[in-house]
Structure 1
Amino acid sequence: MEIEIYDRTAEKVSDEHQKLIQDLLNFAGKKLDLADNTEISVTLMNNPEIRELNSQYRHVDRATDVLSFAAEESDDETPIIMDPELAAEFPVNLGDLFISVDKVAEQAKFLGHSFERELGFLTIHGFLHLNGYDHEQPEEEKKMFSLQREILDQYGLKR
């Protein structure tokens, strides 16, 4: 998977934590059987920046932990029809994740687990949203949260 990580935090996120994100997304991509040329970006930021995005796009004026913006959300676009072999050569852009490292630290402390576990949880939660999973309805929630737990446990980030 092609993963771009942008660190817009004041303190700068460690190379080890950025590698965790990279490795975990690759692991999850294999679990979901995504093509090797699948693309995703992850932007790490602080609470003021994510609050701004949350306010602008969700009309909620407070910081949040993770925001997911899928690249292909709209159903009203006319699909481009091409030969399957040619189509396989084009990368699939899942979209963009924005994660507040301030919220990662706050929530890890509140929940009594590691920063790494919370960072992994938010990364996978947002990643699953980009892959069409949701938790609006009880059945959807059960399916998404079960897969989320399975990926994190298999990767080694158990609660």
Structure 2
Amino acid sequence: MSIEVLNETDQPVQDGLEVELVDLARYVLREMRVHPQAELAITLVDEPAMETLHVQWMDLPGPTDVMSFPMDELRPGNDDEDPEEGVLGDVVLCPSVAAAQAREAGHTTEEELLLLTTHGILHLLGYDHAEPEEEKEMFELQRQLLLTFLAGRGRPTS
């Protein structure tokens, strides 16, 4: 899998965060049975850049925490079909928005960015949360993936 992390903010990335984001993305893609040659970009942007994307693509004001831009509309693999090769797309994260959300939720910015990365990848794979049933399915899968990733890393899952 080709997973690239790009930091387009003025702030240095926390030590080990890029590796952690790549490890998480690789784990989620493997668990979702995405083709091993799939490509993914994770880009960190500042609030003005995220606000521009949010307005342009969602017609909503202000910056948001994560946005996903699918490319080849890849879907999770299953027992009946081999997964397709291609470009999964881009997950764009705004670390400053994530930091504020993390403070409110009582966990670290790193944990919030891992959550948002998982969320963004699921959107790239076609999951959504517009309807209650979709939200339940997506958020349960998101939680399961993140907790099993963290448990496998020997880290606390609270």
- Give your verdict on TM over 0.5: yes
The corresponding residue for 2:127 is 133
Based on CA coordinates, which of the two structures has the bigger radius of gyration?
A: 1
Structure 2: stretches of 5+ with no match in the other structure: 74-80, 151-155
TM-score (norm 1): 0.85
Distance 1:106 1:70 in 2: 26
> What is the aligned length?
146
The corresponding residue for 1:158 is 157
The structure 2 residue matched to 1:112, chosen from 106, 114, 117, is 106
Whether the aligned pair in 1 keeps the contact of 2:68 and 2:123 (CA below 8 Å) is: yes
- CA drift of 1:15 comes to 4.3
Whether the aligned pair in 2 keeps the contact of 1:117 and 1:158 (CA below 8 Å) is: no
Distance 2:49 2:13 in 1: 15
Distance 1:95 1:25 in 2: 12
Distance 1:140 1:10 in 2: 36
Distance 1:27 1:52 in 2: 30
Runs of 4 or more consecutive aligned structure 1 residues displaced over 6 Å after TM superposition = none
RMSD: 1.9
TM-score (norm 2): 0.86
Structure 1: stretches of 5+ with no match in the other structure: 74-83
- CA drift of 1:158 comes to 2.8
Whether the aligned pair in 1 keeps the contact of 2:27 and 2:149 (CA below 8 Å) is: yes
- The equivalences for 1:3-152 within 5 A come to 3-72=3-72, 91-152=85-146
Q: Helix, strand or coil: the match of 1:151?
A: helix
Structure of greater relative contact order (alpha carbons < 8 Å, 6+ residues apart): 1
